[in-house]
Amino acid sequence: MSKLVIGCGYLGRRVASRWVEAGHKVRALTRSAARTEELADLGIEPVRGDVTQPETLHGLPPSDSVLYAVALDRSSHQSRREVLVEGLARTLDALMGKVQRFLFISTTSVYGQTDGSRVDETSSCHPTRENGRMALEAEHVVRRHFSAERGGPAANIVRLAGLYGPGRLLRRIEAVQSGEVVSGNPEAWLNLIHVDDAAEAVIACERQWRSGETWLACDDRPIHRREYYELLSRLLHGPPPTFDGGSVVDARTEGLNKRCSNAKLRRELGWSPRYPTCEEGLRQALGLVK
């Protein structure tokens, strides 16, 4: 089967590699000539193009499955809307009639709950932050596009909790080891998922395809921010973390305080995380266990 990854970054590359290992023909869209050789070395056929430049998308190949996992590149100096909403719409236009299964990576930031309540795929979405609003708008673009295709496929939307893993933590190692003050409410809930578990969730959604589904992917246990940073400090042999109590607004955590559930993924697809809590996941991410 043929697969196409649009957004072959931290998550997309892992999904692509799993598809290659399974014997599929895998292509990936890239803006960078320098990355073409890197992708080819992984057995992934590079396709040059940019989601914000529609004239570069005409050559997107027909594919049985497409993973769309585009993130904002801050160095591009483009707005979230230009990349995450308008770029998506242009790409969907270019893929018209060329895709059987479309998997869109969204985020649990689409939920706006701030009272510590439980959320799942049926919970209301009223995001208060820009990244959540843009993600929800992008979800609407996906649903409108595929619902307009009579007899065509429907997409799946995967809402990921905070992604972490090797080379990607919620805080710089140097900041943890030097004891820099952590901004925001230490008692607010964090919802996380190890990148390898996220990749397996995507694979499970694509393999056991159910048209028009929304999935929430997170690990088994939400964790208070205080507990997370205390754990990270211990693993890195840093001083106990101190918090400013929220007196300094941290745009990355402001308004976040919910507890996400992965029950639907577990129940309906048989998926379960290899790293059920961040304690196991952080040890792997830091190279403390294999």
Q: For residue 59, what is the DSSP state?
A: T
Q: What is the pLDDT along the chain (290 residues), one digit of tens a residue?
A: 999 999 999 999 999 999 999 999 999 999 988 889 999 999 999 999 999 999 999 999 999 999 999 998 877 788 999 999 999 999 999 999 999 999 999 999 999 999 999 999 999 999 989 999 999 999 999 999 998 665 667 899 999 999 999 999 999 999 999 999 998 889 999 999 999 999 999 999 999 999 999 999 999 999 999 999 999 999 999 999 999 865 444 544 555 789 999 999 999 999 999 999 999 999 999 999 87
Q: Which residue has the tokens 């929220």?
A: 246
Q: How many domains does the chain have?
A: 1
Phi and psi angles of residue 246, each rounded to the nearest 5 degrees, phi first: 90, 5
> Is 217 a domain residue?
yes
> Is 233 a domain residue?
no
- The contacts of residue 193 (CB under 8 Å, 6+ apart) are 160, 161, 162, 163, 164, 201, 217, 218, 219, 273
CATH of the domain at 132: 3.40.50.720
Q: Strands 189-190 and 223-224: what pairing?
A: antiparallel
Q: Please, what's the largest Cα pairwise distance for the chain?
A: 59
Q: For residue 196, what is the DSSP state?
A: H
How distant is the alpha carbon of residue 235 from its chain centre?
25
User: Could you give the CA distance from residue 182 to residue 169 in angstroms, rounded to a whole number?
Assistant: 14
How distant is the alpha carbon of residue 79 from its chain centre?
18
pTM, whole model, 2 decimals?
0.94
> Is 96 a domain residue?
yes
Q: Which residue range(s) make up the domain with 43?
A: 2-170+193-223+261-277
> Is 290 a domain residue?
no
> Is 244 a domain residue?
no
